[in-house]
Amino acid sequence: MKELKTPTEVLDFIAAEGIKVVDLRFMDFPGMWQHFSIPAHELEESTFTEGLGFDGSSIRGWQAINESDMLVKPVPETAFVDPFFEHPTLVMVCNICDPSTGIDYSRDPRNIARKAEQYVQSLGLADTAFIGPEAEFFLFDDIRFGQDVNHGFYFIDSVEGRWNTGREENPNLGYKPRYKEGYFPVPPTDSQQDIRSEMMLLLEDMGVAIEAQHHEVASGGQAEIDMRFSPLVRMADNMLKYKYVIKNVARRHNKTVTFMPKPLFNDNGSGMHVHLSLWKGKTNLFAGDGYAGLSQDAMYAIGGILKHAPALLAFCCPTTNSYKRLVPGFEAPVNLAYSQRNRSASVRIPMYSHSAKSKRFEFRCPDPSANPYLCFSAILMAAIDGIVNKIDPGQPLDKDIYDLPPEELAKVPKTPGSLEAALDALAADHDFLLKGDVFTPDVIETWIRYKKTNEVNALALRPHPWEFALYYDV
């Protein structure tokens, strides 16, 4: 469908296409898409300016019970027809406002992303920040997990899992990707081509431009579908469509998807490398004649990313599971350095094309468990801080990190080793996020408190299955 730009166009589309239901969606604070629906005849032009009420106290990390009323205001240009519901349904992403003041809500992640775009424009540095995420995921056949006073476990299964080469499957055909060799064997070893293509084509039908889809490195059904770069807020909106489509197409096939960064032990985890470039009009501000074809501003932007990376990871790698992926000694990008080819560096400059239009760098630490509005905004704010303050990124790390002598490797800064360490880094280094009122102090404080209470401390209280293997007989 073509992009709808005004409330009138939305109402005309509803009438012309026989839409029966309007589904209103917004992002909660940690990063889960929420929704409620109204009959299509209840949507009026005034709804777009006056909004519809809901209980904000029931949304994680938001309002207290004594100030619970909030408003959703649908955004016309986000409209798309839902491909999964039985009844014709038009979906719109919404902004969140305070009903008393009409002011955009400070903890609405989409509002933070909108402010990040506005802040860059207000500085006169650039018109557009283009974001291109590469989000990986696992497509499993079965998942079971549980935790109680006397037990804790998880069990994952996949018909593609290399661990199933000896299972009786009547018949077991044996085509299962070897560990760390899932990139890119053709079918029958790659058994999920048609499912990924269905996901890809459905996303394109919904207005999300796709560049490629493929199997990823890990056994057990790891995959990646690459979206074409877009401006920051639009890309964060698209990221939510991406997760929604992938999960629901999987469900159609009686499979399940996870965006957990490290669901499998001893095989590759799922990352979300985030490509960034800044543009003014039709000029790519990151293209130049410096290292790897980058401009001086691009180098300063890398300097900002590297300086603030420990704090960035509180938003870009926001789960305790994230740090099962970011482990030194493997391919994971734990080294706070930049390189034009080295994939274990946290910032890489892709060298596939020498065109000025395609010049950008990628921040390789993030993973797909991140709230995209917060993740992309934080990355942009760090890059802008680097440009404004002319932060030197130092020398590139183009050597093979695995061959570096220990004394040289020790000089390369590393990413935080846990979510708690990343949250502590954010507590100590967040002034760059507060510029332009993009992130507010209450957002930073609430994020740290929520994550430590509900995730870091909650995990620390629970025995781990491997602890029994280590300690039961001591």
Positive or negative torsion for Cα 73, 75, 78, 80: positive
Catalytic residue among 28, 82, 117, 224: 224
Question: Is 169 designated active site?
Answer: no
134 is catalytic: yes
17 is catalytic: no
Phi, psi of 97 (to 5 degrees): -130, 155
Catalytic residue among 17, 45, 55, 437: 55
Residue of 252, 253, 343, 354 marked catalytic: 343
Write down the catalytic residue from 28, 226, 362, 455: 362
Active site annotation includes 228? no
216 labelled catalytic: yes
Place of tokens 């094309």: 353
Catalytic residue among 28, 82, 134, 141: 134
Q: Are 261 and 368 in contact (CB under 8 A)?
A: yes
Torsion angle, CA of 338/375/428/337, rounded to 10 degrees?
-10
Active-site option among 273, 325, 348, 430: 273
Name the catalytic one among 108, 364, 385, 430.
364
3 is catalytic: no
Determine which one of 28, 136, 160, 267 is catalytic: 136
Active site residue 55: yes
Candidates 82, 160, 216, 226; catalytic one:
216
For residue 181, indicate whether it is catalytic.
no
Q: Is 273 considered catalytic here?
A: yes
> Which residues are tagged catalytic?
55, 134, 136, 216, 224, 273, 343, 362, 364
